[in-house]
Homo-oligomer: A and B are copies of this chain.
């Protein structure tokens, strides 16, 4: 007999089917034993009666989280016992046979059968392989997978080619110091902080590329929005007219992703009791300097220098939400000093053709136009007090007709975090890595 998924069981009323899953809860009511069986698709209530002798004896030995295979008759519940909110709320199973597939060897350290876990983050993460069995927690990763799927699908339609770039680098360039060092045979090497140089390079052969891959940041942060390893959703496109083209592509991408998640993750979003994202076809664009004026005028918040902090990002998003009914906003034209050397300067060279994309108060993407002219790039490297010789391989790309181009880097986990309104990014990563946490 072929295994049937629990969510499919209502199609088999009156038939004997085989299901498999975990004992979610076992309850003994007098002589009758109730077992809620959980598989990846749902939960079904099943009933074991004493008449099925051998099966009944097995049922008595079952503990929570045993994995089992069960054959039984699918029966329609009486109208009064139907639960409308569950896919399987209209049926139950009369168990004929039980086969134990996997036993438990310890008491569960935490209770995962409740809808809300109500445990602090450290407890959840210390018991990660258990807490991930909880339905509400699992929902996060279904949303994540849908983000990756729809992101890739949309960019493919737009002519972007999926690439894989190396994560082991010979030098810690890109102007940042936040690299993890590796022992690579006889050499020192570094873990890629982003696919930036490689995706720019790829513009010169594929024009439009995207990558879904790990990003490593050796930053000693202790916040709810930083981790040291996350999944980057990068893209880069050539033959742009200006950085507006990049923003236009990114907002179309995010609109598609949000629509896909809203459509394909209805159950998951419902568990978080949150509204699906509000999407406008065009996200508002606000100059960073204007955003700072708004913060001062509307919220009495002053920030020294031309930069914005996490609180400022939250407040400006609130203001945008009220004024434009958009959950997204582009902050544009960051000052030259706050952006990497390869960022295209604006007409006023104090500023750059760059943006951050905020979603519900948090930065989820950075991007902009890059310098594509070899000589301009060399000058800018020098302006940053860096040595062009250290960028020999990178500069090689710019010697042979590099077209105007730009792109972005998105953080997968922050998108999921903001869609579901989760308080820490670590909850949106299966096995998060931070300064203190390297296990499991």
Contact = CB atoms under 8 A, between A and B. Distances in A.
* Residue among A101, A220, A401 with most chain B CB within 10 A: A401
Contacts of A168: 180, 216, 228-229, 433, 438
Count of chain copies = 2
Nearest to A201: B129
Interface stretch (A155-163, A299-307, A311-319, A323-331): A155-163
B161 A141 contact: yes
A136 interface: no
Interface string A423-440: 000000111110100111
A102 interface: yes
B400 A101 contact: no
Contact of A206 (B141, B191, B206, B399): B141
Given A162-B149, A438-B187, A399 B39 contact: no
Given A132-B205, A152-B149, A404 B101 contact: yes
Contacts of A159: 5, 40
A297 to B, nearest CB: 39
A167 interface: yes
Contacts of A440: 201, 393-394, 396
Contact of A166 (B130, B138, B399, B433): B433
A401 B129 contact: no
Interface in A186-245: 187, 189, 191, 198, 201-202, 204-208, 212-214, 216, 218, 220, 228-229, 231, 238-239
A320 to B, nearest CB: 30
B399 A104 contact: yes
Interface stretch (A73-81, A250-258, A339-347, A368-376): A368-376
Contacts of A149: 152, 156, 162
Given A101-B239, A163-B430, A438-B168, A138 B206 contact: yes
Interface stretch (A26-34, A46-54, A62-70): A62-70
Contacts of A374: 103, 105
A152 B432 CA distance: 23
Nearest to A22: B401
Nearest to A21: B239
Nearest to A227: B166
Given A161-B141, A430-B165, A431-B165, A213 B216 contact: no
Q: How large is the interface on A (under 10, 10 to 19, 20 to 34, 35 or more residues)?
A: 35 or more
A431 B431 CA distance: 28
Main SS class of interface, A: mixed
A66 B142 CA distance: 45
Given A404-B102, A440-B393, A161 B180 contact: no
Interface in A68-121: 69, 101-106, 108
A403 interface: yes
A69 B106 CA distance: 68
Nearest to A63: B401
Contact of A170 (B206, B399, B439): B439
A403 B201 CA distance: 46
A259 interface: no
Contact of A184 (B65, B132, B206, B438): B438
12 contacts: A103-B373, A103-B374, A129-B396, A129-B397, A132-B204, A132-B205, A148-B162, A163-B430, A167-B229, A169-B438, A180-B183, A213-B213
Interface of A: 3, 5, 20-23, 39-40, 65-67, 69, 101-106, 108, 129-130, 132-133, 138, 141-142, 144-145, 148-149, 152, 156, 159, 161-170, 180-185, 187, 189, 191, 198, 201-202, 204-208, 212-214, 216, 218, 220, 228-229, 231, 238-239, 372-375, 393-394, 396-404, 412, 429-433, 435, 438-440
Given A106-B400, A168-B216, 16 more contacts: A5-B159, A20-B239, A23-B401, A67-B402, A102-B372, A103-B401, A138-B205, A145-B161, A148-B162, A149-B156, A166-B430, A181-B182, A182-B183, A185-B435, A191-B191, A198-B431
